[in-house]
A = this chain, B = another copy of it.
Amino acid sequence: MKLPRYKQLHQRLKSDILSGHYAEGSLLPSENTLSAQHKITRVMVRQALSALEQEGYIARRQGKGSIVCAQQPALGLLSFRGFSEVLGETEHSATSQFLSKPHATTWSKDFFFDLSVSEQKAGCITIERLRKVDDQPVMLEFTYLPNLNIPNFCDKKWVQGSLFRMLYWYYQLEITNVDQRIRALAAEAETAEQFHLDMGTPILHIHRKYGTNRPNYFIYSSLYCNTEHYAIGTIIK
């Protein structure tokens, strides 16, 4: 169960970056310094730093040092972009409100993904959120988590308004991949009302299945987007 020393260093540096101990844009201690401080060779220090670089936490410059990077957006994060302008570069900040307190329930009988037996048994935590830009509702998001090994989830405080940061903070849960399917469909009565749109207006619908660093632990989302005024942006790296 003992972690190799370079992995220990890797985790240590990572949590120090995430906690703000090393500020964004500042330099990490040099490889020789880390080597001396942690009493491991520079080769092992470099192995830890390579992993951090790969994950996007630092950028290394020969002759300069290891620079702490700005926090990269979560995998598959959606943003809202106006497109009245030709290029529509501007990114708009969204507010998020809960339509209900996150609560534990059973899974819907006709859930949109196939569930394993253990997921079925555990039941799910449902999160219903509405996102607005300029007071206009643009996204209706339903998120479902299997109620497995995330004790007291509903009582925890959210970290920086983000579900995923919260999951990392309390449970060391990280999103490793996203599998999604997208459709355009005509708004039905209910969603049309939420978005203040006429029935039948084209809206976007996305089903998502998030993979995590816990084997066989997945998170599911169903998203409805009003793209009348803002397009949905994603960056894939």
Contacts and interface: CB of A to CB of B under 8 A. Distances in A.
Contacts of A178: 234-236
Interface stretch (A6-14, A20-28, A109-117, A124-132): A109-117
Contact of A234 (B43, B87, B114, B180): B180
A174 B27 CA distance: 30
Interface stretch (A63-71, A75-83, A96-104, A154-162): A75-83
A183 B233 CA distance: 9
Contacts of A180: 233-236
Nearest to A232: B182
- Copies held by the complex: 2
B87 A182 contact: no
Contacts of A39: none
B232 A183 contact: yes
Interface in A88-147: 88-89, 110-114
Interface of A: 43, 50, 54, 75-76, 81, 83, 86-89, 110-114, 176-186, 202-204, 207, 225, 227, 231-237
